A = this chain, B = another copy of it.
Amino acid sequence: MKKKSTHEQFVAYLRSEGKNITPERMLILDEVLAQKAHFKIDDIIDKMSCAEKKISRATVYRSIKTIENAGLIKYIRSINDEKIYEVVKKHHDHMICESCGKIIEFHDNDLETLQDAICESHGFVPQRHTMKIFGLCEKCKS
C-alpha cells in the first residue's frame, strides 16, 4: 500500500469536495512544498507574483486556505502574532526563541499520553492541540 504523495492527497481532497483541479492551485501547492520549514503567506505571494505564470494575491489567499482545509498545512502564531505556516508532517509541538525567533519542533510521547489522561479526567475528548514554549534557544541563552 503506497503512501499517497502530497499532490495526490490534495487532488483527492479537491475531488471529494467537488472543487476543480486548477493550475493555480497546483502551482501554489508546489510553491508551498518548495518552501523551507516555516513560511509566511507573503513569501508565496511574492513568488507567485513574479513567477512565469503570475497568480494573484486573492488566489494565493484562497488556495492557501484550501490547502489548509485539506489538512496539508497549518500555521502557528509567531512572537509578533504573524501567521507562520508549515507543511503538516507528523504531529509535533514548538519551542520558540524569544530572542532570535528560531522555531524548534519537538515531539514527546509521554507528553501526549499525559495530555490525554488530563483530558479524560475533565470529561474532554481531545482532537488536536497546540503547544508553544517560549524561551531562549541554545545560542541565545548565554
Residues of A within 8 A of B (CB): 77, 95, 97-98, 104, 106, 108, 110-111, 114-115, 118-119, 122-138, 141
Are B95 and A124 touching (Cβ within 8 A)? yes
A131 to chain B, nearest CB (A): 4
Given contacts A77-B77, A111-B111, contact A126 B118 (CB under 8 A): no
Inside 8 A of A98's CB, which chain B residues have their CB? 127
Can you list 27 contacts pairing A with B, beta carbon distance less than 8 Å?
A: A95-B124, A97-B124, A104-B122, A104-B124, A106-B118, A108-B118, A111-B115, A115-B133, A119-B133, A119-B135, A124-B133, A124-B141, A125-B135, A126-B133, A126-B134, A127-B134, A127-B135, A128-B133, A128-B134, A129-B131, A129-B133, A129-B134, A130-B130, A130-B131, A130-B134, A131-B131, A131-B132
Inside 8 A of A77's CB, which chain B residues have their CB? 77
Inside 8 A of A138's CB, which chain B residues have their CB? 122-124
A142 to chain B, nearest CB (A): 10
Copies of this subunit: 2
Inside 8 A of A133's CB, which chain B residues have their CB? 115, 119, 124, 126, 128-129
Identify 11 new A-B residue pairs, CB closer than 8 A, beyond the known A124-B135, A124-B136, A130-B130. A106-B118, A111-B111, A114-B114, A115-B133, A119-B135, A124-B133, A124-B138, A125-B141, A126-B133, A129-B132, A131-B131
